[in-house]
Structure 1
Amino acid sequence: MYSNDIRGGLDYGLCRYGKSRVRFRGPMPDLTADLLVCLGGTETFGRFHPDPWPQLLGDRLGAEIANFGQVNAGLDLFLQDPEVLRIASGARLCVMQVIGAQNMSNRFYSVHPRRNDRFVKASDALMTLYPDVDFSQIAFTGALMTTLFDTSPERFEVVVREVQVAWVSRMRLILGHLPRPVHLLWFAESAPPANARAALIPPLKDPSFITREMLDALSSRIGGVVEIVEPASARSTEGMVFSEFDAMLAATMLSATAHDRAAQALSDCLRHLWDARGDRDDASD
């Protein structure tokens, strides 16, 4: 469980699926078994957590879990990985964590295809909108968004509306690859803001720029949204494993208690679906 890295912390058992160029958290499941596939970002990967919510959910359901969480992932990571989509499309059930909209390429800027929080290039449209910004000095999407807001909140709104529209479109594409019903997990510090304007108010919070309106736009394609909220004031690092070097970062993560709550809520929601599919399989034998 513990890493041999000089910084200490967890050994995540990183593994690669087929021809995928991304290493995901292990252990790799038996891909010939009925799978519960979990897709998402940092919380799904479970940084610093020996037992993140996907593992806890699998334990509750008695399911083989493929954890396709990735730290700072954006939707592009999944859409550009045919191996992940192939495995997920054949899963028995899928749960997808709601991840933010800023870490994906769009009409205004491009990001790294696997490390989606890395800002690669501003488009001509963004340079025209922000001629007063030196994009050569920006390396990450978080810094990009902060710079754009600080330079012009009015122009920033134009960029955010673009990434919000792109997020809904790409979520529909991803959901089209997954077996229905897909359940979404909202796993964050606060509940989804009601509308687009509410999502623009700094400080930016994960999942960035996602609103309840955007989730509602996906309602015909999903089985539901499970919401687990843990305010910053309720966070604790108890049960987490990290080095002294990572202590400050670990303190910003959702707690082990929140992961357990997420697994329990999802188990309550999915149990009848998991068991019902097992009953049908038994009847067909």
Structure 2
Amino acid sequence: MSMQLTSAGAREDPICRFPGSALPVRGPCVDLVRPYLAFLGGSETFGRFVEAPFPTLVDRALGQSCVNLGSINAGLGAILRDAGVMRIAAGAELTVVQIPGAQDLGNQYYRVHPRRNDRFLAPTRRLAALYPEVDFTQFHFTKHLVTTLYRQSPARFAPVLDELRALWIDRMEQLLGTLGGRVLLLWLQYDDRRPQDDAPLGPDPLLVSRAMIDRIRPDARGLVEVPVVPAGRRVGETARMAFGPLQALAAEHLPGPSMHRRIAARLSEAIRTLD
């Protein structure tokens, strides 16, 4: 196992890479001594900018070893592709899976970065033909891409949306099947008070509906729903987070320490009930 601190003039959280894995997950690395619980997810599970992410708090509350496999901006594609991370999750007594958005899946319309799935790489010929007037060099992130395409033409975006949602269901079913159904789904429901014009596709996790979650719910052991208010909307919350000057905006849109405590409390209660 290796641990490193990545830095580009800004504060970064500890990173761990387990043997056989290319995915940078939350450090410090821990010994994989069974029984343990595993946590799969993106930036929230990773606990970016907070000292004690909710997997750490669940560990303390339950007195059971918890392995944080959260990775910044990782989506379903990055998780399923990483044999090392999947092997660790498959060895857990239970894996908590943060429900991801659907926009970060590579598909027949566009390609995404293999590890940081929120990065848009390029359109396919199919998407270029669907939106011939769009200059795709302006996009670096999938959320910006799908929001702009939807605003440009909701009708033309419909097949893209259908593709992403169908892929999301397929990949989630694949994940749950690989883990043998020993999964507790975590739905972090963002409190999005922005006008419809600013968030036409709704809050995070983007493009995911309750009907989609109901479709995969029978294959998991349970579902925990937690309303999330970003740190920037809670008085004094960002003051308890650690980030560099250029990371302030990102920090404001993520859960702060008090939200991590709330998530951990809900998860701990649910896990005790499963036992």
TM-score (norm. length: structure 1): 0.85
- TM-aligned CA deviation for residue 265 of structure 1: 0.7
Separation in 1, partners of 2:219, 2:49: 32
> Would you say the 8 A contact 1:94–1:179 is kept in 2?
no
8 Å contact from structure 2 (residues 10, 246) kept in 1: no
In the aligned structure 1, how far is the partner of 2:130 from the partner of 2:116? 26
Q: Give the alignment of 1:1-285 within 5 angstroms.
A: 5=7, 7=9, 9-10=11-12, 12-190=13-191, 202=200, 204-232=202-230, 233-234=233-234, 236-273=237-274, 276=275
Asked if 1 retains the 8 angstrom alpha-carbon contact of 2:79 and 2:86, the reply is: yes
**Which sections of structure 2, spanning at least 5 residues, go unmatched?**
none
Secondary structure at the aligned position of 1:33 is classed as: coil
Counterpart in the other structure of 1:195: none
Q: Deviations over 1:226-275 (max 9, x none)?
A: 111134544632421122332232122222111111111111110244xx
The DSSP-based 3-state class of the residue aligned with 2:20 is coil
Contact kept? 2:25, 2:72, Cα under 8 Å: no
Q: AA paired with 2:157?
A: F
How many corresponding residue pairs?
264
Closer, same or farther: CA 84–244 of 1 in aligned 2, 3 Å? same
**Cα deviation per residue 1:211-240 (whole Å; 9 max; x = unaligned)?**
100000012101221111134544632421
Q: Deviation at 1:123? A: 1.7
Instruction: Quote the sequence identity (%).
Output: 40
Contact 2:229 2:259 in 1 (8 A): no
How far off its partner does 1:203 sit? 5.5
Amino acid aligned to 1:216 = D
Provide the C-alpha distance between the structure 2 equivalents of 1:254 and 1:147, rounded to a whole number of angstroms. 26
Q: CA deviation at 1:165?
A: 0.9
Deviations 1:65-100 (A, max 9, x none): 211111111100111111111111111111000111
**Cα distance in 2 between the residues matched to 1:146 and 1:218:** 25
Rg larger in structure: 1
- Structure 1 residue 179, shift from structure 2 partner: 4.1
- CA shift for structure 1 position 204: 4.2
Matched-pair contact (CA < 8 Å) for 2:182–2:221: yes
Query: Quick one: distance in 2 between partners of 1:9 and 1:181?
Result: 35
**Matched residue type, 2:33:** T
TM-score when normalising by structure 2: 0.88
Distance 1:147 1:4 in 2: 32
1:269 is paired with a residue of what secondary structure? Answer: helix
List gaps (5 residues or longer) in structure 1.
Answer: 192-197, 277-285
Per-residue deviation, 1:190: 3.4
Q: 1:20 to 1:122 in 2, by over 3 A?
A: same
Are 1:93 and 1:179, in contact at CA under 8 Å, matched by a contact in 2? no
Are the aligned partners of 1:92 and 1:179 in contact in 2 as well (CA < 8 Å)? no
Q: Whole-Å Cα distance in 2 between the matches of residues 93 and 60 of structure 1?
A: 16
